[in-house]
A and B are shown apart, each in its own frame.
Chain A
Amino acid sequence: GAGVSQSPSNKVTEKGKDVELRCDPISGHTALYWYRQSLGQGLEFLIYFQGNSAPDKSGLPSDRFSAERTGGSVSTLTIQRTQQEDSAVYLCASSLRGGTGGNEKLFFGSGTQLSVL
C-alpha cells in the first residue's frame, strides 16, 4: 500500500516568498504530524492533528507558520515571508490513532527539502 507522500520533494524559494508544503498521509490514519529537521539537528516537532480535535500547535516557531488538514486527510504546511533560517527538511508523519504517550509508531514521508535563498 502507499506510504506517506510529500510534495514537492525539493523547493527553492527566495527570502520573503510564501511556500506551501503538502502531505498525503496513509489512508485511514487519523493522526498527522509535521516535524522539521535542520542540518545536523534532530527532529523538531511543529504541529499535530488528531481526528476532529483542535490541533496541537505548540511547536510552531512563529506566526509565519500555519498548517491545516482538510477532511481529515491531506495536510498543508504554509510558511509566509520565508527567512533563510527556515531552510530545512520538513517531514510529515501519520499514525493510525494518534496514541497516548508515544505508544504508537509513526510512518514518515521522505520530506520536503526547503531552501530559502
Chain B
Amino acid sequence: SQKIEQNSEALNIQEGKTATLTCNYTNYSPAYLQWYRQDPGRGPVFLLLIRENEKEKRKERLKVTFDTTLKQSLFHITASQPADSATYLCALAGDGNNRLAFGKGNQVVVIP
C-alpha cells in the first residue's frame, strides 16, 4: 500500500540550531514533492515544491532535498527561531492523479 511517513515524535531544538525533518514514501513515484507548515487551528500553508530532477531547493532559511532512489525528502530549517515552531507536512501525488496525499506531519518546537 502507499505510505507517506513522517516522524511522529516532536522535534525539540534550541534556537539558532538547524532542524531536520524526514519524509519517506512507499509505492509512489512522485514527480513533485511539497512541504507545508500548519499552525494550531489553521489550515496548512505552502512552503516549497521540489521536482524529481532537482536535488535541492532553498527558500530563505529553508532547504529541501529530494532523493528518488531513497524515496525520501529532507526538510531543513537553519538558524531556527521560536516562530518556526509548528507542524510541517510533506505531500505528494500518485501517478497520473491530482490528489495530493499528505504525511501526518512532524511537530517542531524551537526553544528560546
Give the B-binding residues of A (Cβ under 8 A). 4, 31, 33, 35, 40-43, 45, 48, 50, 56, 58-59, 91, 93, 98-103, 105-111
- A93: nearest chain-B partner, CB-CB: B43
Residue of A33, A91, A100, A105 touching B46 (CB-CB under 8 A): A105
Q: Separation in Å of the B4 CB from the closest CB of chain A?
A: 8
Residue of B31, B36, B42 touching A101 (CB-CB under 8 A): B31
Evaluate contact between B31 and A102: CB separation under 8 angstroms. yes
Mask, B77-112, CB within 8 Å of A = 1, is 000000000000101110111111111110000000
Q: Beyond A91-B44, A93-B43: 12 further Cβ-contacts under 8 Å? A: A35-B102, A42-B102, A43-B102, A45-B101, A59-B99, A101-B96, A102-B34, A105-B46, A105-B49, A108-B43, A110-B43, A111-B42
Beyond A101-B31, A101-B32, A105-B34, whether A48 also contacts B93 by CB under 8 A is no
Contacts of A4 in B (CB 8 A): 43
How many Cβ-Cβ contacts under 8 Å join chain A to chain B? 73
Evaluate contact between A106 and B100: CB separation under 8 angstroms. yes
Contacts of B103 in A (CB 8 A): 42
Mask, B25-44, CB within 8 Å of A = 1, is 00000111110100001111
- Determine which residue in A41, A43, A109, A110 has the highest number of CB atoms from chain B within 10 A of its CB, and name it: A43
Contacts of B42 in A (CB 8 A): 110-111
Contacts of A59 in B (CB 8 A): 99
Contacts of A105 in B (CB 8 A): 34, 46, 49
